[in-house]
Chain A
Amino acid sequence: DSGVTQTPKHLITATGQRVTLRCSPRSGDLSVYWYQQSLDQGLQFLIQYYNGEERAKGNILERFSAQQFPDLHSELNLSSLELGDSALYFCASSFRQDWEQYFGPGTRLTVT
């Protein structure tokens, strides 16, 4: 157990809908990262927050947005969902930005 928690574990929804994925970092970690892993694919970096501020962006679609709250938990919002958005979404956290990242168990999103 890495200490990073993510909810829900599984999510099944229809095209066009909007969902919110939640991540709680390890106690004391200030930085949160979101990654997408499609079936049999690698890990694609989406976005990073550090102590509430957005610090880096990857190939994140405009339909996707995220934020980090004062208690340091983070939410990833996915809207106008398409079939191709079906994937595992991982959150990772680190104490400082240049320290090792620890991954949560992921949220499996299925868009039908």
Chain B
Amino acid sequence: GENVEQHPSTLSVQEGDSAVIKCTYSDSASNYFPWYKQELGKRPQLIIDIRSNVGEKKDQRIAVTLNKTAKHFSLHITETQPEDSAVYFCAASRPGTYKYIFGTGTRLKVLA
């Protein structure tokens, strides 16, 4: 069935360093890949997304890369700041259903 694996489950980095979170999806028909940031007790917030016709997308300190052949995509955060600390979820969706299959989340801690 549809599945999205996300690694690592926890990640600690020093302020100013980069953080990378990786996801692998199983459904080759998936064509849309959003990333959400969720702070404790709050709603998931869309931070960046990528569609399957693009290999990379960047928005200031955040970038996402997609490898359709290998069926994986990654979130890159550069120059991390304490306010980047949160749980990050990747997701995948396919045409026809549009429901999101979420990864299990990565708890990112940026140490000051």
What is the bound-complex CA distance between A58 and B2, given in angstroms?
11
* A38 nearest CB across to chain B (Å): 12
- Contact count A vs B, C-beta below 8 Å: 54
Which of B44, B98, B105 is A48 in contact with, Cβ under 8 Å?
Answer: B98
Hey, which chain A residues are within 8 Å of B97, CB to CB? Answer: 48, 55-56
Q: Are A48 and B43 in contact (CB under 8 A)?
A: no
Q: Name the prevailing secondary structure of the A interface residues.
A: strand
Asked whether, in the complex, the Cβ of A43 is within 8 Å of the Cβ of B43, the reply is: no
Is A51 interfacial (CB-CB < 8 Å)? Answer: no
Q: Which residues of B contact A55 (CB under 8 A)?
A: 97-98
Give the size of the chain B interface in residues (CB under 8 angstroms).
Answer: 22
Docked Cα-Cα span, A55 to B96, in Å, equals: 9
Bound Cα distance from A20 to B49, whole angstroms: 32
A33 touches B103 (CB 8 A): no
Q: Does A101 contact B (CB under 8 A)?
A: yes
B98 partner residues in chain A, CB cutoff 8 A: 31, 48, 55-56, 94, 97-98
Contacting residues, chain B, for A45 (C-beta < 8 A): 99-102
- CA of A106 to CA of B46, assembled, Å: 15
Expressed in whole angstroms, the Cα–Cα distance for A56 and B95 within the complex equals 12
Of A31, A56, A106, the residue contacting B43 (CB under 8 A) is A106
Partner of A105, one of B32, B43, B100, B104: B43
The size class of the interface chain A forms with chain B is 20 to 34
> Once the chains bind, are A90 and B102 in contact (CB under 8 Å)?
no
B42/A105 in contact, CB under 8 A: yes
Chain A residues contacting B26 (CB-CB under 8 Å) are none
Mind listing 14 A-B residue pairs with CB under 8 Å?
Answer: A33-B99, A41-B104, A42-B102, A43-B89, A45-B101, A55-B98, A56-B98, A58-B99, A90-B44, A97-B98, A101-B46, A101-B100, A103-B45, A105-B42
Instruction: Spell out A's residues near B (CB within 8 Å).
Output: 2, 31, 33, 35, 41-45, 48, 55-56, 58, 90, 94, 97-98, 100-106
User: Interface on B for A, CB 8 Å cutoff?
Assistant: 32, 34, 36, 42-46, 49, 89, 91, 93, 95, 97-105
